[in-house]
Structure 1
Amino acid sequence: MSSTFPKDFLWGGAVAANQCEGAFNVGGKGMSLADVHLYHSDQDIISHDSDMTLAQVKAAIEDKVGYYPKRHGINFYHTFKEDLKLLAEMGFKTFRTSIDWSRIFPNGDELAPNEEGLAFYDRLIDEIRSHGMEPIITMLHYETPLNITLKYGGWNNRKVVDFFARYGETLLNHFKGRVKYWIVINQINLMYHESFNSVAICADTVDNLDEAKYQAIHNQMVATALIAKKAREISPDFHMGTMLADCTAYPESCHPDDIVLAMKRNRLQYYFTDVQFRGSYPGYMNRFFVENNIDIKSQEEDAAILKENTLDFLAISYYYSSMVSAKQNGMNPIDLSKNPHLKANPWGWAVDPKGLYNALCQYFDRYQVPIMIAENGFGMYDKLEDGQVHDDYRISYLSDHIAQVKEAIKDGVDIFAYCAWGPIDIVSCSSAEMEKRYGFIYVDIDNEGKGTKQRIKKDSFNWYKKVIESNGEIL
């Protein structure tokens, strides 16, 4: 039994290109899905609704008045050297970010990459490595080029498989020897929660949206397998992973109806990784497709591609736990009940450190593959007072969750990395808020893009530095 974190454990943090880089029209970059996410002061309005329409997309492209925060981020495109220096001061062993597909192939379907885009990521990855950090790179983190939606209808079009595979192969060849860990697609299961971000389909352009989403995921899994195949041909040093947002749910009670509902709902989450680690569609999904009139168009070679090119590791994001009740909820993955035993943050996310321990053990028991915690963090409205941010609530949240990671390690779960989400404040994925903050470093920008852009260390900065120095022994 191991009672401590491994000596070579990768402590660090994670961001996404579309939430931090900005410079959306610099260096030959094309528009991506993230660039049409409008900020609303009324947070009851979610402009990137899972069922975004083609009219909304076209209106966003032409809009000269609205504010689109992900086009600007925190200007990481120009400040990454200074920002990475701050992360290095905390002792980061790893830094996870994404490469924006629309910087490399602006329209997604080009035959040759944009060299200026590759040059930017050369500078970024070399800078990460210069600080002794292991780069963890996500190939797709909600940055599908907008042209894929406008010209091809989204990921449900089989042509996109080849486009993405070309992009993936380009990255593997270009960054060979500098990047070892690759997450092909971020949170592939969030097609339920963030459909447009995930699969680039406008709801009003397909007859059967659910079928189109599952077709898109099939195409993403085939493309991922093709990239994994190419990775093994290019270098034995590559480690190829997939990523889930943990959306598994507790049953409300021990009533058999609650137990069975939770089991069936959880299988809708496991199905993505059942395919990517076991190499074929599970029987329960074949039944689900039949009973829900979903017809997946699969090419003859797809079964072999999936079977022969399973992945090496699982990356998970974990923020909160969920609960379902047979009396209140059905099979829709976003239909949940509140857990009366847990407190939530202002966005309704139930704080549950033991839920992370539970999730890690369940995934490892099921797949027996190494696990990376690719995201874990606490979003909150931080107050900047007299040049300081006292974020004890963030320290408490992260400390309690890291303690549960250690419990999983004691059980023999193979965990090799912990990436705190948003180690420097960035634009929120779901709400496009800047003021929903996760970082150890405060960035003085408000929801409308105003502010000095100054970087300020929060109390959690020095706390996380001690966590890393002690290899998780001081929490």
Structure 2
Amino acid sequence: MTFPTNFWWGAATSGPQSEGRFKKKHRNIFDYWYDQSPQDFHAQVGPDVASNFYNSYEEDILLMKEIGLNSVRTSIQWSRLIDDFETASVNQEGVDFYNRVIDCFIENGIRPVINLCHFDLPVELLEKYGGWESKYVIDLYAKYAEKCFELFSDRVKDWFTFNEPMVIVDGGYLYKFHYPKIVDGKKAIQVAYNLALASAKAIQKFNRMKLSEKGCRIGQILNLTPSYGASSSKEDQSAVEFSELWCNRLFLDSAIKGEFPEKLISVLRKDEVLWESTEEEAAIIKENTIQVLGVNFYHPHRVKQPEISPDSLTVDWMPNRYFDEYDMPGRRMNVDKGWEIYPKAIYDIAKVIKEEYGNIDWFVSESGMGVSREDRYLNADGMIEDNYRIQFITEHLQWLEKAIAEGANCFGYHLWTPIDCWSWMNAYRNRYGFISNDIHTQTKTIKKSGYWFKEVAATNGKSLTDYQK
């Protein structure tokens, strides 16, 4: 296996999933949701403590160093850093905390990669203005981004505006797995547009500050789920086309090309649900594109033609009026999470980025395997023998290496996550980390995969075990 020099061997987490709510003045939407309805969360475990990173970041970062990570992505919590959202004045305790974390990463030889929003909108902005439905909130977000750049860009060189904006759309406005749990297709479409505009406005701030001249770069992190049809029929391939437009190309095109897919716009206009926009906003999106892309990949998207023609529907607009999910016989599954395991898709993603998006620099910003009840795999020494995770990573890296050998500009692989973290409604039901976390004692223990990954990183991939059949 051959990977580029200085390849990122790392892992990803986020502020709201690791830090806990210690000393936060404001609540984000998940803090609020948990306070209102703790029964909605697995075992009623909320974000109050998470993995205690706020208090144990020094010890946690030492563990990350011990397993050989050279880069780690996390996020700044808007609700922790900012005191007054209108003026973007800061909470000094929040500033001090993030300064200490950034410095600790650097002191331990780990590159800090910082994301600005990981689903965690301050709930005040939802209650006052409607959250991401509001273009005023977009401007407040841009102010917050600018403040982060001012405070931390002397040391943080890798910035990302959003993690998985499509999840904000799907979870909050279509399928009710994130707050505010609205089902409204037209609102979802406006929110999607507003998120693309918010990203561009943050990049506009970045560009005006000329941070590229200081060695910084800025991007966006997108969850890409390649679409595969149930058959080669015209109807199934039409379902694939719309699935690609909605699930992947909406944010890929706006982030990299500075415009939205014309075919998608045509469908939304025909359905009378197209977002409200201005020429000035279009110019901002066009002129402020990303410099680097993060790709989160977990599973493919298998689709077939919908059973009912979309033209015959009279109910509110939903994207799946143009496709139905397809359960392919014989799929290889992670039964705990309910997701298909299909490593070749990472190669397919790489080919699309190379051939259709200018071969932009990118990295795998998340990949991973959530498994429940990992204590089933404890050995006599108290270590979790997660061979399934080692195999999962190996197979994805094999396809990634093939793509790199064929010219893909991929510079890194980050597992989700370094330490088992809190996962929204699922809380700690499934575990993803290289390092286990006993949430009752906050005792953290390196898993077999962590020691294995240390050797992989140390040899730049040359030590990878071949799990191919």
TM-score in terms of structure 2 length: 0.88
Instruction: Describe the SS at the equivalent of 1:69.
Output: coil
* Residues 1:143 and 2:133 are matched in the alignment: no
Which residue matches 2:110?
A: 133
Query: 1:202: Cα distance to partner?
Result: 5.2
Cα contact 1:315–1:373 (8 A) shared by 2: yes
- Is 1:21 the counterpart of 2:10? The answer is no
Provide Cα deviations, 1:293-312, integer angstroms capped at 9, x if missing partner: 21422234111111111111
Q: Quote the Cα distance in structure 2 between the aligned partners of 1:259 and 1:344.
A: 24
Instruction: Quote the Cα distance in structure 1 between the aligned partners of 2:28 and 2:85.
Output: 10
Residue 474 of structure 1 aligns with which residue?
463
- 1:12–1:93 Cα contact (<8 Å) kept: yes
- Distance in 2 between residues matched to 1:151 and 1:366, nearest whole Å: 40
Task: Pick which of 254-263 and 138-147 moved more.
Answer: 254-263
Say whether the 8 Å CA contact 1:142–1:198 is kept in structure 2.
no
Cα distance in structure 1, aligned partners of 2:433 and 2:350: 24
- Is 86-95 or 253-262 further displaced after alignment? 253-262
Unaligned runs of 5+ residues in structure 1 are 39-56, 446-450
Taking the aligned partners of 2:92 and 2:5, their CA distance within structure 1 comes to 38
Distance 1:174 1:126 in 2: 13
Question: Structure 1 counterpart of 2:413, which letter?
Answer: Y
Question: What's the CA shift for 1:165?
Answer: 0.3
Q: What's the offset of the Cα at 1:395? A: 0.7
For residue 263 of structure 1, the aligned residue among 220, 241, 246 is 241
Whether the 8 Å CA contact 1:144–1:200 is kept in 2: the answer is no
Do structure 1's residue 435 and structure 2's residue 429 form an aligned pair? yes
Letter in 2 for 1:413: A
Amino acid at match of 2:427: E
Residues 61 and 115 of structure 1, relative CA distance in 2, 3 Å threshold: farther
Does the aligned pair in 2 maintain the 1:21–1:74 contact within 8 Å?
A: yes
User: In the comparison of the two structures, how many residue pairs are matched?
Assistant: 440
Query: Matches of residues 306-321 of structure 1 in structure 2 within 5 Å?
Result: 306-321=285-300
Q: Which amino acid in 2 is paired with 1:425?
A: D
Asked if the contact 1:193/1:334 (under 8 Å) is kept, the reply is no
Instruction: Quote the offset at 1:99 in angstroms.
Output: 0.5
| Equivalent in 270, 276, 279 of residue 258 of structure 2 | 279
Question: In structure 2, do the counterparts of structure 1 residues 61 and 86 end up closer, same or farther at CA, with 3 Å as the change threshold?
Answer: closer
Cα deviation per residue 1:150-174 (whole Å; 9 max; x = unaligned)? Answer: 1111111111011000000000111
Which residue of structure 2 lines up, in the alignment, with residue 52 of structure 1? Answer: none
Aligned residues: percent identity? 30
> Counterpart of 2:313?
none
Pick aligned residue for 1:217 from 178, 192, 211: 192
Correspondences of 1:271-420 after superposition (within 5 Å): 271-326=250-305, 331-332=319-320, 335-345=324-334, 346-367=336-357, 368-381=359-372, 382-383=374-375, 384-386=378-380, 387-420=382-415
Distance 1:187 1:149 in 2: 19
Alpha-carbon RMSD across the aligned residues, in angstroms, is 2.3
Match in the other structure for 2:316: none
- Aligned equivalents of 1:179 and 1:134: distance in 2? 8
Letter in 1 for 2:53: F
User: 2:228 corresponds to which residue?
Assistant: 250
2:434 is matched by which residue type in structure 1?
Answer: F
Secondary structure of the corresponding residue to residue 194 of structure 1 = helix
Q: 1:393 to 1:296 in 2, by over 3 A?
A: same
Amino acid in structure 2 at the alignment position of 1:342: R
Could you tell me the TM-score, scaled by structure 1's length? 0.87
Q: Structure 2 counterpart of 1:154, which letter? A: G
Q: Which amino acid aligns with 2:195?
A: Q
In structure 2, the gaps of 5 or more residues are 311-318, 465-469
Aligned 1:99-178 pairs, distance under 5 A = 99-105=76-82, 108-178=85-155
Q: Partner amino acid for 1:358?
A: D
Of residues 168-177 and 377-386 in structure 1, the stretch that sits farther from structure 2 once superposed is 377-386
Alignment-mate amino acid for residue 133 of structure 1: I
**Shift of the alpha carbon at 1:274?**
0.7
Choose 304-313 or 228-237, whichever is displaced more: 228-237
